[in-house]
Amino acid sequence: MGPIVIIAELEGGSVRSASYEAVEAGRALSRMEGGSLLILAPGNNVRGAADELASRTGIDVLALENEDAEAYSAGLWKSMLAEAVGPLGPRFVIVPHTARGYDFAPGLAVRLGAACITAVEALRGSEGRITLTRSAFGGKLSMDIAPSEGTVVLTVQPGAFASGDAQSASPGNVSTKRTGAIDSRYRPLGIRAVEGETASLNEAEVVVAAGRGVGKKENMGLITELASLFSRSVVAGSRAACDAGWLPYARQVGVTGKTVAPRLYIACGISGTAQHVSGMKGSQTIVAINTDPGAPIFNIAHVGVVEDLAVFIPLLTEARLKIKLLRN
Ligand SMILES: Cc1cc2nc3c(=O)[nH]c(=O)nc-3n(C[C@H](O)[C@H](O)[C@H](O)COP(=O)(O)OP(=O)(O)OC[C@H]3O[C@@H](n4cnc5c(N)ncnc54)[C@H](O)[C@@H]3O)c2cc1C
């Protein structure tokens, strides 16, 4: 079969770190099954990013240029990538499991006539057989999957395959392929960063995070009141809390949100799915409040409280207030 292909994710001319983690997954598969590696860098004017990928990894890079690919669109990415990847006949196509990767990977697999296995967290090889592991049922179960024969498109969970900063001793070769106009049903006009909250969320020392377990918007007062008792604190949340409209998406923590590493992270009514945990597992101290003793968040929490947050947070707030008053 052809090489193991890694699809890099670029934004504004920079390489997203999840791309390097996908490269590590590719190296692991290459060690198990053999096969060379090739990185594809799709976008417009991506030569600089392609050079960076080649020099850091030592792997050959194909810069896949398309004038219309200034901003991401699933239709465009699937068409460009299917055209470039198909003739290579790869065994594995590795895509970062980001919002973008998760968006186009299944459609790309369909176009390639390939299998698709998403959110892979670990790889194992024994007796000539590769086993892929991913979470299931919100992180409560772990599932082992054996890939089929032929091409398999994998999305790999950010944070699962650590990549160092080391530069390769000898850079890979970079070549460029221009793809022509692609018939797409829609055309993205551009992507704008949301202004405002990012800096404070990234710089906060204490993050009080709300999840679906908060129950309703009116209960967000419990979270904001608790946060207000810590200096350099901010309220954030899971995607479920943002989807419910309790918080703006700029406050979402996780694989498709922000990555934070505060001194203290208080997870309130958050189950702890892999997508959320990948954005906060670097926190120095994690406190989890959850009614379900089997919630996966307790696997990474330093302090676990099995209690209704509507009961526990007012007690915690009161205790914190007393400490503040005693100190002043
Ligand atoms: C491609 C992709 C990207 C994603 N990116 C992200 C991301 O960046 N960030 C993110 O967070 N999610 C992300 N998700 C969604 C993620 O899979 C989960 O759906 C989400 O994190 C769940 O949020 P939650 O923990 O708040 O809700 P749930 O999983 O529903 O958990 C709610 C928890 O609250 C507890 N609870 C209920 N009532 C109470 C109470 N009264 N007191 C205390 N505890 C209570 C429950 O026991 C439960 O554990 C992504 C999903 C996909 C597919």
Question: Would the pLDDT of 197 be above 50?
Answer: no
pLDDT (mean) for 198-217? 86
309: closest CA among 327, 297, 292?
A: 292
**β-bridge mates for residue 107, sequence order:** none
Ligand 1: distance of its center to the CA of 140 in Å?
A: 12
CA-closest residue to ligand 1 atom 43: 290
Which of 27-41, 66-80, 174-188, 255-269 comes out lowest in average pLDDT?
A: 174-188
Residue 86: Cβ-neighbour burial (10 angstroms; 0-12, 13-18, 19+): middle
- Asked if residue 258 has pLDDT above 90, the reply is no
Over residues 193-222, the mean pLDDT reads 81
Q: Is the CB of 304 under 6 A from ligand 1?
A: no
Q: Is the CB of 237 under 6 A from ligand 1?
A: no
Report, as an integer, the average pLDDT of 209-213. Answer: 98
- C-beta separation of 76 from 68 below 8 A: yes
Atom of ligand 1 nearest to the CA of 97: 1
What's the pLDDT score for residue 138? 65
What separation in Å is there between the alpha carbon of 212 and the centre of ligand 1?
Answer: 6
Ligand 1 atom 11, closest CA: 238
Q: Is the pLDDT of residue 212 over 90?
A: yes
| Residue-range domains of the chain with CATH | 4-178 (3.40.50.620), 198-327 (3.40.50.1220)
Q: Does the Cβ of 223 fall within 6 Å of ligand 1?
A: no
Q: Is the CB of 188 under 6 A from ligand 1?
A: no
Residue nearest to atom 5 of ligand 1 (CA): 256
**In the chain, where does DSSP find H-type helix?**
17-33, 47-57, 74-85, 99-112, 198-203, 220-228, 239-243, 274-277, 309-327
pLDDT score of 199 = 45
Ligand 1 and 98: CB distance under 6 A: no
Distance between CA atoms of residues 311 and 316, nearest Å: 9
If one compares 102 and 203, the residue with the highest pLDDT of the two is: 102
The DSSP call for residue 119 is E
Separation of 139 CA from ligand 1 center, angstroms?
10
Nearest to 38 by CA among 27, 52, 49: 27
pLDDT band at 194 (very low <50, low <70, confident <90, very high): low
CA 119 to ligand 1: nearest atom: 1
Q: Which two tokens stand for residue 63?
A: 């810069």
Lowest mean pLDDT among 36-40, 67-71, 193-197, 302-306: 193-197
Q: Which residues pair with 290 in a beta bridge?
A: 306
pLDDT tens column, 14-70? 898 889 999 999 999 999 989 999 999 999 999 999 999 999 999 999 999 998 888
Q: Which residue owns the Cα nearest ligand 1 atom 49?
A: 271
Protein residue whose Cα sits closest to atom 28 of ligand 1: 271
Query: What b/e readout covers 283-314, taking b as 16+ CB neighbours within 10 angstroms?
Result: beebbbbbeeeebbbbebbeebbeeebeebbe
> Is the distance from the beta carbon of residue 269 to the nearest atom of ligand 1 less than 6 Å?
yes
Please say whether the beta carbons of 227 and 235 come within 8 A: yes
For residue 113, pLDDT beyond 50: yes
Decide whether any atom of ligand 1 lies within 6 Å of the 308 Cβ: yes
CB of 96 shorter than 6 A to ligand 1: no
State whether the beta carbon of 209 lies less than 6 angstroms from ligand 1. Answer: no
Instruction: Compute, in degrees rounded to 10, the torsion defined by CA atoms 309, 310, 314, 317.
Output: 40
Specify the ligand 1 atom closest to the Cα of 292. 47
pLDDT of residue 326: 76
Does the beta carbon of 275 lie inside 6 Å of ligand 1?
yes
Tell the residue nearest (CA) to atom 23 of ligand 1. 240
The Cα–Cα gap between 130 and 126 comes to 7
Span from the CA of 20 to the centroid of ligand 1 (angstroms):
27
Per DSSP, the chain holds a count of helices (H) and strands (E) of 9, 16
